[in-house]
Amino acid sequence: MNFLITGAAGFLGSALANQLALECHHVRGLDDLSTGDPQALVPDVHFTRGDVSDRPKLWTLLQDVDCVYHLAARVAVPESIIYPRDYNAVNVGGTVALMEAMRDVGVRRVVFISSGAVYGDNQEQPLKESARPNPSSPYAVSKLAAEYYVRTIGGLWGIETVSLRVFNAYGPGQHLPPSHPPVVMNMLRQTLRGGTVVIHGDGMQTRDYVFVDDVVRAMIAAATAPHLDNLVINVGFGVETSVKELLAVVLSIINSKVEIVYNTRTEAGVSRMRADLTLAAEKLGYIPRIPLAEGLRLTLERDARFRDLYKNKR
């Protein structure tokens, strides 16, 4: 099959692109490289640097494409609180521009990568796709708005659409920005270095952590599985893990002494998250394979930023 992946040089995008290329598909990748790294892509991925709102570029890249994976987005929750207009422009405006280009060229299937963040703080656990969205950040609002655009205009224009609400994905190659890094990768880094591990809030807030390889399997299944049109499907591990529990697992793997410091909570008010995976199993045949401890070990072994430090701690 022929695929276009937007956000192809990012964490999930590059993992997906490389796996599809390994399976001998023809893969084109588009990324503006605001956070992505083209060196993460294997040579068989045909990469183009560019913006997802660049329609002439999209018209060229979409020729003969069977399915689009749309991952291009700004994803930092704290940053979205400061720059909501930018998040709307990229995450919503970019999505609409892509859908218009798909209509113009005649591409008939898109897999939109949304986020479990659209549920916000919701007492209905585990979270079913039928739960009422309650976004608590501009990032989550932009993802939910993009979902609605994809489903609505896809239906009007005859484009098959499926939105995957990915929960807290982690794994080798995940971007580690200086401010507001992802919790799993930051905790691995802090623990390897020793000294202090900072926990925001009381550490009892939970997330559903899912390893990147499991997410990729779900995304690949979504390209060809039947009867997905207009569906929203959760992708997680299906286990609720608190930040304290996450740290305990990390410390059981890494032989390091740390001091735990509790800081004022800075997250956007989400206390619990766990994905209900019933629909994913039914529609995608998706059953996650890699539990948290194994995923953390694989991350430490595969990620060049951690590998040597991890060897020295064993």
**Contact of 292 with 237, CB cutoff 8 Å:** yes
**How crowded is the C-beta side of 147, counted as CA atoms within 13 Å?**
26
Among 69, 87, 119, 139, the active-site one is 139
Is residue 286 part of the annotated active site? The answer reads no
Q: Provide the annotated active-site residues.
A: 139
